[in-house]
Amino acid sequence: MIEENDLRIGNWIFDPHRKEIAQVSEIGWDKEIIHYRRFGIDGELGKWTSYGHNSKYILEPIALTPEILEKCGFAAGISEGIARLSNDIDEEEPNGNTYYWDLKVPNNNHVEGLRIFNLVQFGGGADILWVHQWLRVKVKCLHQFQNLYFTLTGTELNYTP
């Protein structure tokens, strides 16, 4: 289930009953029913094909993965043998290589100094983190990432499944 205050129009979600991803187009007045546009039904991948709706209790988030980040336009890289941002011991950061994704931020008036949007995955661990100076934010789902990106940059994240 996705909490209704986590969703915005434009967020990407997964409908497990129809086994498809969709984009939120409307949130019902009672915040129980989520309306969405279906993407790529009946083999027409890459085309909006119809609309649907379902209860917020049924819809699921889409896990944030390296493949999704690359579809959002992020450039990927790896820092071999570097598993931490600093020499401080942090028990939560696994050892190994660090994977990162960068995307240049268009004209940002929301957060001073934010020119590049950086995400890291320490030591090949499961968590993907947004990192800016001393801040670290775990981002587990695509809709959370869309909301964070919009809040910090004032622009929508481009994503096409």
What residues does each domain of the chain span? 4-55, 66-153
Give the predicted TM-score (pTM) of the model: 0.77
What pLDDT, in 10s, does the model give residues 75-132? 888 766 555 555 454 555 555 677 778 788 776 666 666 777 778 877 666 778 887 7
Cα 50 to its chain centre, rounded Å, is: 23
Cα 154 to chain centroid distance, Å, stands at: 15
Q: What is the pLDDT of residues 69-79, one digit of tens each?
A: 889 888 888 76
What is the arrangement of strands in the sheet containing 116-121, beginning at the earlier edge strand? 75-79, 98-104, 116-121, 128-132, 135-139
